[in-house]
């Protein structure tokens, strides 16, 4: 296996060596220290990635074109979060529908859940966005 981050591999080797020298009593502290270093490394990579994406979006906007940056609701995180919340809420809704009305209620419940998710997913589609702009009363 090839190490992607040689510095982090050195840290892991040093942590394992220290564990061998100090014994199992210090293992939790050594693991916690190593995980803090991994977290710092990931935070640094995330910060660099976010800055790079922001710079790319700013350059595209300055050039007068390119895709507009996704909003929180239409970005992957927003769509993923909406899907997770939808499925979590689907559990009690399914139980209520099935207990009160049987199979027909179950089918109606899930058709509603699918419809809500489809409408939310369609919100991010370029053709749907173009249609919304064309139908908008706000633009002159």
- pLDDT, one tens digit per residue, over 111-125 is 988 888 888 777 765
DSSP 84-115: HHHHHHHHHHHHHHHHHHTHHHHHHHHHHHHH
pLDDT at residue 118, rounded to an integer: 84
Q: Is the CB of residue 72 less than 8 Å from the CB of residue 78? A: yes
pLDDT digits (tens, 9 = 90+) for 56-68: 888 888 887 555 5
Q: Is the CB of residue 106 less than 8 Å from the CB of residue 98? A: yes
Q: Give me the long-range contacts of 114-121 (CB less than 8 A, separation at least 24).
A: 116/86, 117/82, 117/83, 117/86, 120/79, 120/82, 121/79
Question: Is the predicted pLDDT of residue 138 greater than 70, yes or no?
Answer: no
The pTM is what?
Answer: 0.40
**Residue 97: both structure tokens together:** 């529908």
For 118, phi then psi, to 5°, come to -65, -45
Q: Alpha-carbon Rg of the chain, whole angstroms? A: 25
Confidence of residue 139 (pLDDT cuts 50, 70, 90): very low
């Amino acid at each position: 296996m090839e190490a992607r981050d040689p510095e982090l591999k050195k840290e892991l080797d040093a942590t394992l060596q220290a564990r061998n020298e100090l014994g199992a009593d210090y293992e939790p502290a050594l693991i916690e220290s190593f995980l803090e270093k991994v977290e710092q490394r990931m935070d640094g990579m995330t910060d660099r990635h976010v800055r790079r994406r922001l710079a790319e979006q700013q350059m595209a906007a300055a050039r007068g074109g390119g895709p507009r940056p996704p909003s929180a609701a239409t970005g992957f995180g927003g769509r993923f979060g909406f899907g997770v919340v939808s499925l979590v809420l689907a559990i009690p809704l399914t139980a209520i529908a099935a207990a009160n009305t049987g199979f027909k209620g179950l089918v109606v419940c899930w058709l509603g859940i699918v419809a809500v998710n489809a409408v939310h997913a369609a919100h991010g589609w370029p053709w749907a966005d173009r249609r919304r702009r064309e139908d908008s009363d706000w633009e002159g």
